[in-house]
Each structure stands twice: as C-alpha cells, then as structure tokens.
Amino acid sequence: MSYSVAGARELAVRALVHIADRPELASALLAGSGLKPEALRQAAESPDFCLHILDFLLEDDSRVLDFAQALAIRPEEVMAARTALGGPGSYGWEPD
C-alpha cells in the first residue's frame, strides 16, 4: 500500500475530523501542539500540520487502531500516509 501526497493529506484531514469528534483526543492534540481551538482550522491547511496529525495518532497504538477501525482501513495505512508526507526515513529509520 502506498499513498500519494494528496491521498495522505486527505487521510490526515479525515484523522483531524476523527480526533475532533473525540474530546479527549482533541484536548491531547491541542495540548501537544500548543494550538488554541480557534487556530486549528488555519493550522490544518499546513502540510506540516497534516504530518503532525498523523504523528499524533502514531504515538499511541490504541489511537491508530481506533482510527483504522472507524475508517475501515488497515492500521498500517496511517504509517504509509505519514511516510508519503514526510518521505522515507523521516520517522527515524530508513526503508528496506
């Protein structure tokens, strides 16, 4: 499975909607990013923020599994989308 940059951004936007629908996740995202709720919409337009959203999910297996189940995708797709946005090796290791 691989994602284009556009497809990865789309998945990140869907992740943001998923997070926004869960107050505990939204609070954790805002606390971790330092953003105020009113700044979230503007931040969401940034490619770097798309990467941050996927990283936020990837910090916790339960977040990834919950998101994947909600979208009926494989959990590995979150990392594939993250790699499409950040590039191979951007998550601390090089691809095989």
d(CA 62, CA 28): 14
Supply the pTM of this predicted model: 0.84
- If one compares 41 and 72, the residue with the highest pLDDT of the two is 72
Band (90; pLDDT cuts 50, 70, 90): low
> What pLDDT score does 71 carry?
97
Q: What does the pLDDT read at residue 42?
A: 79
The count of other CB atoms within 10 Å of the CB of residue 35 is 16
Residue type, 29: L
User: Which residue's entry shows tokens 């998550």?
Assistant: 91
Can you give the pLDDT at residue 62?
A: 97
Q: Give the pair of three-digit tokens for residue 79.
A: 């990392």
Q: Which alpha helices (DSSP H) does 1-96 contain, by range?
A: 5-20, 23-33, 40-44, 47-58, 61-71, 76-86
Residue type, 12: A
pLDDT tens, position by position, 55-81: 999 999 999 999 999 999 999 999 999
Measured CA to CA, the distance from residue 48 to residue 44 in angstroms comes to 9
pLDDT at residue 13 greater than cutoff 60:
yes
Q: What percent of the chain has pLDDT over 90?
A: 65
